[in-house]
């Protein structure tokens, strides 16, 4: 039984499927150009799952890397953030846990779409604070391209697939890697801005093919995402007593480079303080923040002792933020 304490990040891993789809592969089919995609999203390529590869498969790869990074073989719980589970029922987390050798542990899914990883982190931190678990594996994994209309010029270039994971352990609030506070919110009145209409209890079967795919109101999403991530970030900074100038790195959900730059501008953060990997991953939904963290460690933009601010926005609408002082971690390549 864990003592009541703070969740501390102690392991990190990521994984991308091997299939690369660059912008030029999309240009003819979607009547677009590489320059158009790059200028509006910052994306040059993305990874896409092959037939037979699933959210659970990717989560297992990322989770194994996170466990090795943490130097541990066992956890007390597995929390999987995903909006693309392998099937509607049961949850996918128990499969991830079992394939990683974590038998008889608590395992469940969290669906807050692109904010899912932050929601899962907060949930795992609650398990630790509530003495339910001492060590928790948190995974963000999404095969989001399976929800995208292959002929939709507005969404195909944006999304990619992937998984990222962290291990949290019980620790002290003044340790490097200690998470918190968390600031989480939702607004269901914005459901229709980012929605897959069919496939649930309200409309089980699509009445037309497009209802099985994501519908996105891009301009409205842009406005909400920038404002909400900035608002949540200010709350976290205020609770920590950090000034904007105290933040060494900002790691936002990798939805769109213009959104990340707009959030940084609203907060007064310098552009060179952003950790960005969307150019080669696309928007990987719940996987985007841990994948960006893994890439940041690998390329040296995240260093031990850095004060790091995390923020995300997603369908729901959902959004949130948290922060930590970056720990000294060894991270494997994500491929």
Q: Residue 257: in which H helix or E strand, if any? A: helix 257-267
321 vs 313: CA distance, rounded Å: 9
Question: Do 307 and 244 touch, CB atoms closer than 8 A?
Answer: no
Contact (Cβ atoms closer than 8 angstroms) between residue 275 and residue 301: yes
Residue with tokens 């928790």: 136
283 annotated active-site: yes
Structure tokens at 113: 């779409």
How many CA atoms, within 13 angstroms, populate the side-chain half-sphere of residue 234?
12
**Separation CA 196–CA 206 (nearest Å):** 10
- Reply yes or no on whether 114 is catalytic: yes
**Sign (positive or negative) of CA dihedral 263, 279, 318, 216:** positive
Give the contacts of 296 (CB within 8 A, at least 6 positions apart). 249, 251, 275, 277, 302
**Active-site residue among 114, 224, 256, 277?**
114
- Which of 23, 111, 224, 253 is the catalytic position? 253
253 among known catalytic residues: yes
Structure tokens at 243: 């000034």
Question: DSSP state, 293?
Answer: H
> What's the rounded Cα separation, in Å, for the pair 191 and 280?
29
Residue 4: strand pairing partners:
none
Q: Which of 23, 111, 256, 283 is catalytic?
A: 283
Instruction: Find where tokens 């040059």 sit.
Output: 44
Residue 209 CA, distance from chain mean position = 28
By annotation, the residues acting in catalysis are 114, 253, 283
């Amino acid at each position: 039984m864990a003592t009541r304490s703070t969740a501390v990040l102690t392991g990190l891993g990521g994984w991308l499927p091997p299939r690369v789809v660059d912008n030029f592969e999309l240009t003819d089919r979607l009547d677009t150009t590489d320059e158009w995609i790059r200028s509006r999203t910052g994306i040059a390529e993305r990874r896409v799952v092959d037939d037979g590869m699933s959210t659970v498969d990717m989560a297992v790869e990322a989770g194994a890397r996170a466990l090795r990074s943490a130097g541990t073989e066992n956890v007390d719980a597995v929390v999987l953030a995903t909006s693309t589970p392998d099937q509607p029922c049961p949850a996918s987390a128990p499969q991830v846990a079992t394939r990683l050798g974590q038998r008889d542990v608590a395992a469940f899914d969290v669906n807050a779409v692109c904010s899912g990883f932050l929601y899962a982190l907060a949930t795992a931190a609650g398990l630790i604070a509530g003495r339910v678990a001492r060590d928790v594996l948190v995974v963000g994994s999404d095969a989001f391209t399976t929800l995208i209309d292959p002929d939709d010029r507005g969404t195909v270039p944006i999304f990619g697939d992937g998984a990222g994971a962290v291990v949290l352990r019980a620790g002290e609030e003044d340790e490097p890697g200690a998470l918190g506070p968390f600031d989480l919110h939702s607004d269901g009145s914005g459901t229709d801005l980012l929605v897959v209409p069919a496939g649930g209890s309200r409309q089980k079967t699509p009445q037309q093919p497009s209802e099985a795919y994501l519908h996105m109101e891009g301009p409205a999403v842009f406005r909400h995402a920038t404002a909400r991530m900035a608002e949540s970030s200010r709350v976290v900074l205020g609770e920590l007593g950090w000034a904007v100038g105290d933040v060494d790195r900002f790691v936002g959900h990798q939805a769109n480079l213009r959104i990340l730059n707009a959030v940084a501008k609203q907060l007064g953060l310098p552009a060179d303080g952003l950790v960005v990997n969307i150019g080669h991953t696309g928007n990987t939904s719940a996987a985007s923040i841990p994948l960006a963290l893994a890439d940041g460690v690998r390329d040296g933009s995240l260093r031990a002792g850095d004060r790091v601010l995390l923020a995300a926005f997603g369908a729901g609408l959902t959004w949130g933020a948290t922060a930590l002082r970056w720990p000294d971690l060894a991270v494997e390549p994500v491929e």
